Amino acid sequence: MNKPEQQERLSGSIERVTFHSEASGFCVLRVKVKGQRELQTVVGSAASVTAGEFIECTGHWNNDRQHGLQFKAAELQIVPPTTLEGIEKYLGSGTPSRGRRSSRRCSVSGFWRILKEN
């Protein structure tokens, strides 16, 4: 009899979007998880993902023959950045150095005020 896989929680900041399909939402993410030295690979589904965003997900660890250890997310929720470092990464994803200049001009609360107005 197969035992059901235990669901675990994982959260951290997206350091790199390795792959994302706009059509299906399938994504492969490299995530910095608190307490872990190495970036962790998270495989799941999200409408859009950007480096610098924070994720919270539930799922299980899977040791893929070809790609190694991965966290296979059954549920993946994107949480916008709340730290200066996260905002810099978020604003700078896609355009080099734009994020650092833009984020230095305003505080974290100022950043969220601007987003709410637009």
71 with 88, same domain: the answer is: no
51 with 21, same domain: the answer is: yes
45 with 4, same domain: the answer is: yes
63 with 27, same domain: the answer is: yes
What pLDDT, on the 0 to 100 scale, is given for residue 117? 60
22 with 33, same domain: the answer is: yes
Q: For every one of its 118 residues, what pLDDT tens digit does the chain have, with 9 covering 90 and above?
A: 555 668 999 999 999 999 999 999 999 999 999 999 999 999 999 999 988 889 999 999 999 999 999 999 999 998 877 777 777 777 776 544 444 444 445 555 565 565 666 5
Structural domain span for residue 55: 1-79
Domain count for the chain: 2
What pLDDT, on the 0 to 100 scale, is given for residue 46? 94
What pLDDT, on the 0 to 100 scale, is given for residue 101? 46
Q: Tell me the backbone φ, ψ of residue 45, rounded to 5 degrees.
A: -140, 130
What pLDDT, on the 0 to 100 scale, is given for residue 108? 57
- Which neighbouring-strand residues pair with 48? none
Q: Which of 30, 18, 9, 2 is nearest to 73 (CA)?
A: 9
Q: Which domain CATH number covers 42?
A: 2.40.50.140
What pLDDT, on the 0 to 100 scale, is given for residue 25? 95
